[in-house]
């Protein structure tokens, strides 16, 4: 059966081609980034296994558990370039995990039998879990750089459009006025929270694994915890309070975080798509020649960046769910759930990197049309300010009565097409409470944005304090 599986990989004619969108020659730039692909590449993964083995040998030599010359010899060969990847692939398929094939080659590379001290007291999952954490540490540096770029773009939008009045929308309908700065600041506030979340998660997450067969370090006697501590010092990782072979909350938590982070990106992308509609046209994606064109309609400019964000972000959430499934593991070492992470972790990070890269471009290059926003506010002939009028009348005639009165007048606006201000001025009950200048003030959308500016300032202050 194993021979059949290996042979099947060579049956296709021509060179092997990527099959997934993440690695596809055509789609790769749309769904992932090259730096993140390198972090989760086979080469970097295997090198992290070797980094573990070299660090373990150094730690154990320092504690006098293995000979120093053995640690030096092992370290000399913990270099991916010395390994036969084809042989490693074949042996991995046969065994079911890649660590033993790596160790086997490492032992053979070492002189005078010194390689026998390799992997001393460790188990396969110690190596793979710690390597995953090392990869995640590299990946988070990329994630944080994009988060900073997105937040910077949103902060600039919030500052530039602090007082740019636009229609706030509820159930896709114009509701009352807001500002585009308020919309941008709301997203910026979410990114500030994401930055706080990640800062809280990292000390829990960036913890290595070294527990031996069932997590007790029994093979090292009374030296196990000393080796564990020395190993984590070598790798600059946190020391686990307990072995976590079958306690996968660390991995699930970072998956859930990426789900939250990319969902915020998708919210921005959805708003951009809606605001780019022909009937709205209040914003547009960064202009790049040829981007967003139609194969048949020369006039079209499609929201390509936002569409890609909207396509990839749900996949991140699906992988976050898979990582929660991987938490349900049997006993001290799992018989299947752990392997979910082998698929989900690289893909969730690669997809997240793609989402963040597109969102960064969107946030930093978004075009905003204040004139169109103002024109759209005028579409309802003043109805967007109906609440403002109601609240002004409430103190004179009661809120309930004022609501019904303005609702009746609003229906007349819809039926006749006349401006709300004119019909208010012609209503005797309204006229007894509000003169024409007061009505003009109340029906100007710019006068009904509440504390939007103060909220924007508060978020910007938080952002600047954090940078």
List, by residue number, the catalytic residues.
294, 333
Q: Compute the chain's Rg from CA coordinates.
A: 30
- Which three-class secondary structure state does DSSP give residue 331? coil
**Taking the CA of residue 148 as centre, how many other CA atoms within 13 Å lie in the half-sphere pointing to its CB?**
9
Taking alpha carbons only, the member of 327, 353, 330 closest to residue 341 is: 327
Query: What secondary structure does DSSP assign to 335-400, as a single string?
Result: SSHHHHHHHHHHHHHHHHHHHHHHHHHHHHH-EE-HHHHHHHHGGGTTGGGHHHHHHHHHHHH-HH
Q: Tokens for 338?
A: 């752990």
Is 47 within 8 Å of 133 (Cβ atoms)? no
**Taking the CA of residue 230 as centre, how many other CA atoms within 13 Å lie in the half-sphere pointing to its CB?**
18
Query: What secondary structure does DSSP assign to 5-46, as a single string?
Result: HHHHTT-SSSS----STTT-TTTHHHH--HHHHHHTSHHHHH
Q: How far apart are the first and last CA of the chain?
A: 57
- Which three-class secondary structure state does DSSP give residue 176? strand
Long-range CB pairs of 318-325 (<8 Å, 24+ gap) are: 319/255, 319/259, 319/344, 319/347, 319/348, 319/351, 320/252, 320/255, 320/256, 320/258, 320/259, 320/348, 322/255, 323/248, 323/251, 323/252, 323/255, 323/256, 323/348, 324/252, 324/255, 324/256
Taking alpha carbons only, the member of 443, 441, 280, 278 closest to residue 375 is: 280
Q: Rounded to whole angstroms, what are the CA distances from 194 to 322, 356, 420?
A: 21, 13, 43
Cα separation of 66 and 60, whole Å? 6
Which residues in 70-162 belong to E strands, given as ranges? none
Strand partners, 238: 207
């Amino acid at each position: 059966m194993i021979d059949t599986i290996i042979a099947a990989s060579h049956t296709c004619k021509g060179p092997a081609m990527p099959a997934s969108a993440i690695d596809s020659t055509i789609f790769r730039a749309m769904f992932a980034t090259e730096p993140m692909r390198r972090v989760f590449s086979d080469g970097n993964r295997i090198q992290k296994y070797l980094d573990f083995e070299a660090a373990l040998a150094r730690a154990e030599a320092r504690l006098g558990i293995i000979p120093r010359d053995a640690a030096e010899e092992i370290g000399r060969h913990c270099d991916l370039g010395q390994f036969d990847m084809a042989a490693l692939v074949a042996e991995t398929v046969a065994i079911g995990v890649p660590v033993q094939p790596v160790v086997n080659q490492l032992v053979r590379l070492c002189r005078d039998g010194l390689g026998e001290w390799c992997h001393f007291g460790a188990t396969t999952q110690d190596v793979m879990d710690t390597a995953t954490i090392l990869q995640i540490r590299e990946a988070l540096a990329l994630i944080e750089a994009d988060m900073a770029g997105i937040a910077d773009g949103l902060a600039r939008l919030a500052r530039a459009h602090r007082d740019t009045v636009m229609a706030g929308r509820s159930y896709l309908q114009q509701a009352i006025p807001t500002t585009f700065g308020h919309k941008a600041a709301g997203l910026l506030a979410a990114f500030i929270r994401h930055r706080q979340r990640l800062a809280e998660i990292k000390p829990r997450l960036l913890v290595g694994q070294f527990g031996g067969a069932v997590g007790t370090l029994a093979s090292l006697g009374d030296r196990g915890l000393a080796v564990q501590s020395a190993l984590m010092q070598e790798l600059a990782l946190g020391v686990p309070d307990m072995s976590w072979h079958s306690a996968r909350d660390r991995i699930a938590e970072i998956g859930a975080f990426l789900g939250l982070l990319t969902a915020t990106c998708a919210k921005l992308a959805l708003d951009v798509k809606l605001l780019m509609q022909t009937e709205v046209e209040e914003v547009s994606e960064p202009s790049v020649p040829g981007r967003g064109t139609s194969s048949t309609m020369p006039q079209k400019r499609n929201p390509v960046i936002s569409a890609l964000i909207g396509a990839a972000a749900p996949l991140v959430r699906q992988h976050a769910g898979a990582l929660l499934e991987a938490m349900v593991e049997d006993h001290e070492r799992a018989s299947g759930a752990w392997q979910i992470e082998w698929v989900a972790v690289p893909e969730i990070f690669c997809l997240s990197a793609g989402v963040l890269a597109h969102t960064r471009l969107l946030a930093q290059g978004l075009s905003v049309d204040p004139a169109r926003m103002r024109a759209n506010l005028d579409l309802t002939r003043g109805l967007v300010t109906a609440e403002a009028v109601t609240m002004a009348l409430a103190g004179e005639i009661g809120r309930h009565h004022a609501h019904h009165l303005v609702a009746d007048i609003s229906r007349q606006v819809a039926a006749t097409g006349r401006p709300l201000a004119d019909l208010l001025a012609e209503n005797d009950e309204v006229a007894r409470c509000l003169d024409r200048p007061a009505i003009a003030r109340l029906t100007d959308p710019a006068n009904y944005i509440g504390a939007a500016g103060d909220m924007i300032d508060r978020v910007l202050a938080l952002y600047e304090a954090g940078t």
